[in-house]
Amino acid sequence: MEKITADRPSDEEPFAPEYWTVSPGEGGVWGIAATSEAILVEGEGEDGETILERFDHDGRSLDTTLFEHERDQPPHNNGSPAVSPDGVVYAIDTYDGRRQVVQLDADGSTSSSFEVPPGEESTGHPLDLKGIHWVADLDGAPALLIGEGERTVYGFRENGDYLGVLPGLPDTLLGSVGNTSVAGLTVDGGTAHLRVHDLATGATVLHVPFSLADREFAVSGPPRIERPRGVTPGPRGEGFLVASADGIQWVDAHGARQGFWMNGSGGMTLAEAGRLIERDGHYWVLSFLEGEYRVLSLSSEEMQAMLLGPVEPKASREASLAQLGIGIGPTTDRPFNHFDAGEVPEVFIETEEGWGVSDAGNSELQLHYTVTGDPTLADPVVQEQRRAEIPFGGGRSALELPERRPGVYEVSLWLVEPGSTEPQSGACLRYSISPEASPLRLGTLSDGADWGGPGPLRGVEIAARLGIGSHRVQLDFASLVPDPAAEPSPSGIRWQGLPGAGEEDDDAGAFGQIRAAAQVATQEGVDLIVQLGQNGEAERAAVDSGTWEGWSEYIVAGVAEHVPEVILWSPWNEPNMAFDDGAEYAEDVEIPFALAAHRANPGAQVLAGNSLGFAFDWWRSAATTNLCEHVDAIAVHPYTGWNRSWEEEGFIQEGSGFDELRDALGPECAALPVWDTETGWTSDGALSLWSQGANVARKLLWYTREDLAGWTYFFSEGGWGEFDLSWSLIQHQSYVKPGALAFATTSRLLGDSGAPEVVETPIPFSHAMRLGGEVETVAIWTDGMRLEAVARTDAAELTVIDHYGHERSLPVEDGRVTVTLTGAPQFFVASAGTIEFQPVEEFGPDVLVGAEVQPSSTHEESDPQVITSGTVNPHRPWRSGRVGGAVDPSPHVDIALEEPTVIDRVAVASGSIVCCEAGLRDYTVSVQTPDEQWVEVAQVEDQFWERVAMVGFDPVEAVAIRIEVPWRTIRGVEMLSVNYTDLAGGHPPPFMGLQTESDYVVSIAAVSAWEPAR
* Residue 478: φ, ψ to 5°: -65, -35
Give Cα 257 to chain centroid, integer Å. Answer: 21
Report DSSP state, residue 516. Answer: H
In tens, the pLDDT along 979-1001 reads 999 999 999 999 899 999 899 99
Instruction: Tell me the β-bridge partners of 145.
Output: 133, 155
Tell me the C-alpha distance between 390 and 328, whole Å: 9
- Pure H helices in 161-289: none
pLDDT at residue 921, rounded to an integer: 98
- Quick one: which of 709, 663, 650, 730 has its CA closest to 912? 650
DSSP state, 985?
Answer: T
pLDDT tens, position by position, 477-530: 999 999 999 999 999 999 999 999 999 999 999 999 999 999 999 999 999 999
Lowest mean pLDDT of 33-37, 471-475, 842-846, 897-901, name the range.
33-37
Q: Name the residue type at position 710.
A: G
What residue spans of 707-793 are helical by DSSP H?
Answer: 738-751
How far, rounded to the nearest angstrom, does the alpha carbon of residue 290 sit from its chain's CA centroid?
23
- What is the mean pLDDT of the segment spanning 684-691? 96
C-alpha to C-alpha distance for 439 and 341, rounded to whole angstroms: 7
Residues 791-839: tens digit of each pLDDT:
999 999 999 999 999 999 999 999 999 999 999 999 999 999 999 999 9
How confident is the model at residue 284, as a pLDDT?
Answer: 96
**15 preceded by a cis bond (ω within 30 of 0):** no
Minimum mean pLDDT among 267-276, 535-544, 780-789: which range?
Answer: 267-276
Q: What is the reported pLDDT for 114? A: 93
| Whole-number Å distance between alpha carbons of 219 and 334 | 6
Question: Beta strands 787-793 and 835-839: pairing type?
Answer: antiparallel
- Per cent of the chain over pLDDT 90 is 83
Per-residue pLDDT tens over the stretch 11-28: 888 888 999 999 866 777
Provide the pLDDT confidence category of residue 106 given band limits of 50, 70 and 90: low
Q: How many Å apart are CA 122 and CA 784, to the nearest integer?
A: 71
Considering just the CA atoms, what is the radius of gyration of the chain in Å?
33
Each residue's pLDDT tens digit, 811-821: 999 999 999 99
Three-state secondary structure call for residue 116:
coil
Report DSSP state, residue 391: -
| 408 pLDDT above the threshold of 90 | yes
Is residue 1 scored above 80 in pLDDT?
no
Residue 110 has pLDDT above 80, yes or no: no
pLDDT at 44: 82
Region 310-328 average pLDDT: 92
- Please classify residue 401 by burial: count the beta carbons closer than 10 Å to its beta carbon, then call 0-12 exposed, 13-18 middle and 19+ buried: middle
> CA-CA distance, 29 to 22, in Å (whole number)?
8
Q: Residue 2 — pLDDT band, cuts 50, 70, 90?
A: confident
Asked if pLDDT for residue 51 goes beyond 90, the answer is no
CA atoms of 662 and 628, how far apart (whole Å): 13
Model confidence at 271, pLDDT cuts 50, 70, 90, reads: low
Q: Look at residue 251 and tell me whether its pLDDT is greater than 70.
A: yes
> For 98-102, 326-330, 906-910, which range has the lowest pLDDT when averaged over its residues?
98-102
Weakest-pLDDT range from 106-120, 194-208, 303-317 = 106-120
CA 1012 to chain centre: 46
Write down the H helix ranges in 657-736.
Answer: 658-670, 686-706
> For residue 135, which of 176, 187, 166 has the smallest C-alpha distance?
176
Nearest CA among 202, 201, 173 for reference residue 185:
173
Average pLDDT estimate for 843-855:
97
Question: Predicted confidence band at 294 (pLDDT cuts at 50, 70, 90)?
Answer: very high
Residue 969: count other Cβ atoms within 10 Å of its Cβ: 9
What DSSP line would sit under 23-49, residue for residue?
---TT-EEEEEE-SSEEEEEEE-TTS-
pTM for the complete prediction? 0.95
Indicate the SS3 state at residue 879.
strand
Residue 234 gets the label, from left (phi > 0), alpha (psi -120 to 50) or beta, of beta
With cut-offs at 50, 70 and 90, classify the pLDDT of residue 647. very high
Q: Which of 524, 197, 204, 545 is nearest to 360 (CA)?
A: 204
Q: Calculate mean pLDDT across residues 202-222.
A: 93
Exposure string over 678-704, b if 16+ CB within 10 A, otherwise e: bbbbbbbbbbbbbbbbbbbbbbbbbbb
* Nearest residue to 51 via CA among 87, 20, 80, 94: 80
- How many angstroms separate the CA atoms of 742 and 423, rounded? 33
**Average pLDDT of every residue of the chain:** 94
**Rounded to whole angstroms, how far apart are CA atoms 186 and 171?**
5
Q: Can you tell me the mean pLDDT for 756-782?
A: 95
Among residues 917, 887, 892, 905, the alpha carbon closest in space to that of 981 is found at 917
d(Cα 990, Cα 970) in Å, to the nearest integer? 13
pLDDT at position 274 is 80
State the alpha helices, DSSP H only, in 605-685: 616-622, 658-670
Q: Which residues in 986-1003 are b (16+ Cβ under 10 Å) and which e?
A: bbbbbebbbbebbbbbbb
Residues 507 and 333: their CA atoms lie apart, in Å, by 41
